Copies of this chain bind each other. A is one copy, B any other.
Amino acid sequence: MPHAPTPPTLPTTPPAPTAKGRATRARIVEGAAEVLREQGVAFTTLDDIRARTGTSKSQLFHYFPDGKDELLLAVAQFEADRVLEDQQPHLGRLDSWESWRQWRELVVERYELQGDHCPLGALFLQVGRSRPGARAIVTELMRQWQEQLARGMRALQAKGLVSPALDVDRTAAALLAGIQGGVTIMMSTGDSTHLKAALDTGIAHLRATPDGPART
């Protein structure tokens, strides 16, 4: 059963008509993302973004007529797209215990590196419920992420490494929750123990499944 072909990116603003315009717009979004990751949403002003991207006030409002909210939303989309990309190619090939292990290492490494800033979480809190688009971005990201995990689990099932009785969707949802929570806790406490525990326990749960005899 193929999933509905939801477009991965909903165009917040029609990209500028000219090539130069598109370049400037992209520069703004990427630069803003940098600043936001460094300083946090609460402490970042349009002037900071302006300085970093070498643009003027009028450019900011030219490309994002609705102001800061619209810009933040664009950055949120930009960051959301990066999240899954950064886990590739492993996340797309979770068809062996080894690939799961490699993916696990990658996730831990990536978030430990990222330190104590969760771009998306912070962005979402700032933009908040005011913009319905914010919720859509996060929802879509979670859906895709979970789907990739589920696909990996089904691949293991197909290989006979995991019981076909396993409730893949629920297990994938739980694993995703564990990752999210692990990251959240790490952001708050600086300790990645919980993230590792969630990943390892989640994978161990796959292995421990009945009819899953093969252990590498």
Partner-B contacts on A (CB < 8 A):
40-43, 116, 121-122, 124-126, 128-129, 135, 138-139, 142, 170-171, 173-174, 176-185, 188-191, 193-195, 197-198, 200-202, 205, 208
Contact = CB atoms under 8 A, between A and B. Distances in A.
A102 to B, nearest CB: 20
The 3 A-B residue pairs whose C-beta atoms are closest, nearest first, are: A181-B181, A180-B181, A174-B201
Contacts of A43: 128
29 contacts: A40-B128, A41-B125, A42-B126, A43-B128, A121-B184, A122-B125, A135-B188, A135-B190, A139-B188, A139-B189, A139-B191, A142-B185, A142-B188, A142-B194, A171-B197, A171-B201, A173-B194, A173-B197, A174-B178, A174-B202, A176-B185, A177-B179, A177-B195, A178-B178, A178-B198, A180-B185, A181-B181, A205-B205, A205-B208
| Chain A interface, DSSP helix/strand/loop, else mixed | helix
A185 to B, nearest CB: 6
Contacts of A173: 193-194, 197-198
A195 B197 CA distance: 17
Contacts of A201: 170-171, 174, 205
Contacts of A182: 177, 180-181
Given A116-B129, A126-B42, A195-B177, A184 B184 contact: yes
A183 B180 CA distance: 9
B40 A188 contact: no
